[in-house]
Structure 1
Amino acid sequence: MTLSPEDLKTIEKYAYQNAVKYGKAPQPKAVMGKVMGECPQLRSDPKAVSEALEAIVAEISKENPETWEAKLSEIAPELIEALNVKKEPEKGLKPLEGAEMGKVVMRFAPNPNGPATLGSARGMVVNSEYVKMYKGKFILRFDDTDPDIKRPMLEAYDWYLDDFKWLGVVPDQVVYASDRFPLYYDYARKLIEMGKAYVCFCKGENFKRFKDAKKACPHRDTSPEENLMHWEKMLAGEYEDHQAVLRIKTDIEHKDPALRDWGAFRIRKMSHPRPEIGNKYVVWPLLDFAGAIEDHELGMTHIIRGKDLIDSEKRQSYIYKYFGWKYPITTHWGRVKIHEFGKFSTSTLRKAIEAGEYSGWDDPRLPTVRAIRRRGIQAEALKRFMIDMGVGMTDVSISMESLYAENRKIVDPIANRYFFVWNPVELEIIDAEPTVVKAPLHPTDHTRGFREIAVENKVLICHDDVDKLKVGSIIRLKDFCNIEITSLSPLRAKISDISLEALKKAKAKIIHWVPLDGINVKVRGPEGDIDGIGEQGIAAELDKIVQFERFGFCRIDSVDEGQTVAYFAHK
């Protein structure tokens, strides 16, 4: 079967629609389904359709997202409208249950034992966006009362505040849990007086045996007066580490062992990294207790937390019941798995950094906000990425490519273009005269101006391009000249006067290049470092994101006399 022009147009429009919808090269199977649904007469020859589709996808893959959208608007504007109609309900966040305009109070409560990760960013963005939606109050609360297992990092407090500022979100209130020990002690004392909490001296393994057997430990029925006496001794430091635990009295026969008489305070004679706290306290509140008190004291109306913390809510509900408080409306969401990073934890990353496996918390191989900021990912791209993920109980498995697609939309129109040659090989153009090449800073915005590259008769090109050459090959040195290869060893060429039409017919490759007096550039990225030579103009782009042609978007991180360092963002 020979496909008609109309058939080819149908394949093309659905291929472009698929590319625009997902922000990446068209997926042949999905496009095939659309085509066969609209053109049932083609079902008799799927091979012909598949071959035509393969060729069209190959061409579309060479273009950028802006071109895809422009092309689809031209050939099938109705499909653009269909995408917009379909996407509109999915944008933003679903309404909060029971939310009232002006009365919503939400919080993001990190443990500052390291900087914000991409997982943290989800909580930062979604909570702040909900508060903005309802004109409410947003609180950043540092849950920093664990001096031992998840010991806070002093620098991490400022890192979080800096990341919030970068995201364009300023919390209405910042609370440090470690400042509020007297508040927690007061509530603990009240619970003891009510007979709802007691001091337990059982060793951990012994208490577990009682708990698993649904039996009370020997200290559970101690009088409030005696418990208060033990509590004061705990606060005074008269007991040793782990010698006594204050427990919340629940249902000792509850079907879930995790809810039976859970621990609220423990003894650890350790200093806190914040100098204001230091060695002031020896009795430390556990997270479920401190969090329960704080959510009430700060007037939380809504909480979003991981579904793995459902037990926390059940434990905290006992405190709320004892004091007659109303528990905030809670939404749970599933875990987020990012393909490129696998499973990670802040404590694991911290150990790896201390062992020298990474250069620091902003190493481009790490899933931290500091790392992706350094790579040139824009705050707006991260916000869109997190909001699009939504809030649901289902675990989410995503790729960084989705974030890169969002970022590409933002940086592609603003990033100046430059040549960067990795694994450089010298090419002599035997009949070239010294000249100054003018190349646009941006291919579609010539009002931005041109970069001037002084070049003589020798340039550097990528070794990858050299591997594909043979004597007689015609290639185009982008924005410079057409050449014909005359020798491979040494690599030489002569200027070719081939016409533009002949150049296209020969499907001559267009490659980038740099003059011999280019600057040393090191590109740092998730896959490791790449050294090469770049245009001198790159040095003027400090702290800006640029596109190295045929390589990718990079942020210029530092410029020194001997070397310029760029951080790779994405293709």
Structure 2
Amino acid sequence: MTLNEEDKLTIRKYALQNAVKYSQPPKTGAVMGKVMSESPHLRQMAKEVKPLVEDVLNEVSEGTPDVWKEELNKIAPELLQELYTKKEPTKGLKPLDVEEGEEVVMRFAPNPNGPPTLGSTRGIVVNSEYVKKYNGTFIIRFDDTDPQTKRPMMEAYDWYIEDCKWLGAEPDKVVYASDRIPVYYEYAEKLIEMGNAYVCFCKGDEFKKYKDNKKACPHRNQSPEDNLYYWNNMLNGEYGEKEAVLRIKTDIQHKDPALRDFGAFRIIKTSHPRPEVDGKYVVWPLLDFEGAIEDLECEVNHIIRGKDLRDSERRQRYIYEYFGWKYPKTTHWGRVKIHEFGKFSTSSIAKSIENGEYLGWDDPALPTIRALRRRGIQPEAIRKFMIDMGVGETDISISLESLYAENRKLVDSNANRYFFVWNPVELEITGVEPRNVKLSLHPKEKRGYRELEIGSKLYVCQEDIDSINVGDKLRLKDLYNIEVTSLNPLKARYLDDSVERIKKANLPIIHWIPVNGVSVKVIAPDGQYEGFGEHGIADEVDSVVQFERFGFCRIDSVDDKIIAFFAHK
């Protein structure tokens, strides 16, 4: 294959930048990454492009740092300047480019095929935060015009609004794209009349061959009158699915195949779950067309989108240019990878729920806001977690431990402490009288006490006794010291109440529950834990408590047994 001059220049400038940055010959991997990011049309030919890139790198490698710097300053001075400009911190939100007197209008546009996840929450929080900062308008737009591939879920519409409100991101306006189909038809007809759109009858693989070879398909030069006739036939349901597509004319010779005559409307005869629109339409807009029109109609002037959606923006700009509109100011950000979840999609989660792999959309193992909310993660912690990521093009890899750390700050002072013994084993203690024990509800806050009545039998955790032997001495937390006298059955004798013994003998400390404790089940991301807890836990429904030596949990219900959802350590 051969590269055009623009592609060669792209390779050379990034090769020079890499060489200047490290004062050594450029590295293939780093340069390839930069080139593919700027020239996405080369991605599908990466194997063929790589040796050509290496040829340029070998040529550049023959120079010296001074030569590299001089040439880079000539062909791409902005890349040289980038190396010597101190980058602003990515943490937090950088200012928007707002003109004086401009009202900031931003939107978040989910496909409601499931509830918000941590991935979509970044868009909700950041857009709403910017709008608050500039006293603007925040719009939630449901992109629900694909009833087939990404079929909307009726419950998800309400879930999105509920979760937005809970996150402190209540929208000023809610738009349902499926309600606006006639509006999209009007703009489509205008483009047809202008000669900028045509009805294509090519099969998918057939059109791809034309596109890949930079050739117009046989239908591209149909007259506007013919296209309007075919368009009306589409609307009247006279064609089958995939039989006809309305395409936007672009540059059929464009270097990026993704921008060559893209599809704007296709025929889908699958029912739509919303009764308001079900059965009304068989021609549905594709996302790039619908989004372009809605951003104009809703007067959106600032967009934050993933850097992987640059091609969508470039396609939409054709529509804006044809109508003479000004495109919104756009900021791109990189992908976010959360260690604990890896790759996930709403559709794959839905299938797993159907297969019984999860309890539902609020299963603690899932990355949904409904799950985090049920676990006791606070909205303020999620907002800060998202805002601290900032808005930059660098891909981010982050752990939920950062979110948990923020949440811990919020719940720690309010969370009452209780004992919970999971995988319990009965322990019988000799030489001790029954007693009432007063334990503090919080180690630092003056909030009162809980009282426990104990006798000669207690429950302790199996894992606490797995490594002990007869004769070992232990401390029962906030109670007294014992010496193990038997392992099967588990027995011990009372020693004393001395706290000094703990310090001198460095005794292991374990927690416990009276045998009259209440049944407790904790549902956590890694499984379920069953055992016994204190009676006072039953008064904490919907509150976050700390089970000592176990973690923070939100008490979900107290019917037959106490059900708690694990938040974090």
Gaps of 5+ in 2: 1-87
Which is worse superposed, 91-100 or 215-224? 91-100
Question: Do the aligned residues in 2 keep the contact of 1:100 with 1:134 (CA within 8 Å)?
Answer: no
Question: Do the aligned residues in 2 keep the contact of 1:426 with 1:491 (CA within 8 Å)?
Answer: yes
2:363 aligned residue = 363
Distance 1:497 1:456 in 2: 15
Question: Do the aligned residues in 2 keep the contact of 1:198 with 1:246 (CA within 8 Å)?
Answer: yes
Report the CA distance between 1:422 and its aligned residue.
Answer: 1.0
Question: Do the aligned residues in 2 keep the contact of 1:428 with 1:459 (CA within 8 Å)?
Answer: yes
Report the CA distance between 1:472 and its aligned residue.
Answer: 3.3
Gaps of 5+ in 1: 1-87
2:95 aligned residue = 95
1:466 aligned residue = 465
Distance 1:97 1:262 in 2: 30
Q: Secondary structure at the match of 1:377?
A: coil
Q: Secondary structure at the match of 2:523?
A: strand
Question: Do the aligned residues in 2 keep the contact of 1:420 with 1:532 (CA within 8 Å)?
Answer: yes
What is the identity, as a one-letter code, of the residue corresponding to 2:438? K
The one-character-per-residue Cα deviations of 1:85-123 (angstroms, maximum 9, x if unpaired) are xxx976631101235566111000000011101000100
Matches within 5 A, 1:52-451: 92-98=92-98, 100=100, 103-446=103-446, 448-451=447-450
2:455 aligned residue = 456
Report the CA distance between 1:316 and its aligned residue.
Answer: 0.3
Question: Do the aligned residues in 1 keep the contact of 2:377 with 2:567 (CA within 8 Å)?
Answer: yes
Q: Secondary structure at the match of 1:190?
A: helix
Report the CA distance between 1:226 and its aligned residue.
Answer: 1.1
Report the CA distance between 1:501 and its aligned residue.
Answer: 2.6
The one-character-per-residue Cα deviations of 1:479-533 (angstroms, maximum 9, x if unpaired) are 2222232333322222223643332111112221001011111111111111111
What's the % identity of the aligned pairs? 70
What is the identity, as a one-letter code, of the residue corresponding to 2:496? D
2:20 aligned residue = none
The one-character-per-residue Cα deviations of 1:373-397 (angstroms, maximum 9, x if unpaired) are 1111110010110011111111111
Q: Secondary structure at the match of 1:496?
A: strand
What is the identity, as a one-letter code, of the residue corresponding to 2:273? P
Question: Do the aligned residues in 2 keep the contact of 1:101 with 1:135 (CA within 8 Å)?
Answer: no
Distance 1:543 1:377 in 2: 12
Distance 1:509 1:189 in 2: 78
The one-character-per-residue Cα deviations of 1:156-202 (angstroms, maximum 9, x if unpaired) are 00010110111122101000000000110000010001000011111
Q: Secondary structure at the match of 1:145?
A: coil
Report the CA distance between 1:476 and its aligned residue.
Answer: 2.0
Distance 1:497 1:438 in 2: 17
Question: Do the aligned residues in 2 keep the contact of 1:112 with 1:157 (CA within 8 Å)?
Answer: yes
Q: Structure 1's 210 and 91: CA in aligned 2 closer, same or farther, altered over 3 A?
A: closer
Q: TM-score, normalised by structure 1?
A: 0.82
Question: Do the aligned residues in 1 keep the contact of 2:98 with 2:104 (CA within 8 Å)?
Answer: no
Which is worse superposed, 534-543 or 98-107? 98-107
Question: Do the aligned residues in 1 keep the contact of 2:476 with 2:511 (CA within 8 Å)?
Answer: yes
Distance 1:89 1:210 in 2: 46
Q: Secondary structure at the match of 1:471?
A: coil
Question: Do the aligned residues in 2 keep the contact of 1:439 with 1:479 (CA within 8 Å)?
Answer: yes
Which is worse superposed, 322-331 or 430-439? 430-439
2:45 aligned residue = none
What is the identity, as a one-letter code, of the residue corresponding to 2:451? E
Question: Do the aligned residues in 1 keep the contact of 2:553 with 2:564 (CA within 8 Å)?
Answer: yes
Q: Does 1:564 align with 2:568?
A: no
Question: Do the aligned residues in 1 keep the contact of 2:259 with 2:315 (CA within 8 Å)?
Answer: yes
What is the identity, as a one-letter code, of the residue corresponding to 1:521? V
Q: Secondary structure at the match of 2:258?
A: helix
| RMSD across aligned positions (CA) | 1.4
2:477 aligned residue = 478
Count of aligned positions: 482
What is the identity, as a one-letter code, of the residue corresponding to 1:332? H
Q: Structure 1's 333 and 510: CA in aligned 2 closer, same or farther, altered over 3 A?
A: same
Distance 2:289 2:98 in 1: 25
Distance 2:488 2:283 in 1: 75
Q: Structure 1's 99 and 383: CA in aligned 2 closer, same or farther, altered over 3 A?
A: farther
The one-character-per-residue Cα deviations of 1:287-340 (angstroms, maximum 9, x if unpaired) are 000000001111111100111110000000000000000111111111111111
Q: Does 1:520 align with 2:519?
A: yes
Report the CA distance between 1:400 and its aligned residue.
Answer: 0.9
Q: Structure 1's 99 and 366: CA in aligned 2 closer, same or farther, altered over 3 A?
A: farther
Question: Do the aligned residues in 2 keep the contact of 1:101 with 1:134 (CA within 8 Å)?
Answer: no
Q: Structure 1's 209 and 343: CA in aligned 2 closer, same or farther, altered over 3 A?
A: same
What is the identity, as a one-letter code, of the residue corresponding to 1:435? R
Q: Secondary structure at the match of 1:180?
A: helix
Q: Structure 1's 558 and 326: CA in aligned 2 closer, same or farther, altered over 3 A?
A: same
Question: Do the aligned residues in 2 keep the contact of 1:102 with 1:135 (CA within 8 Å)?
Answer: no
1:543 aligned residue = 542
Distance 1:285 1:172 in 2: 25
Question: Do the aligned residues in 1 keep the contact of 2:90 with 2:392 (CA within 8 Å)?
Answer: no
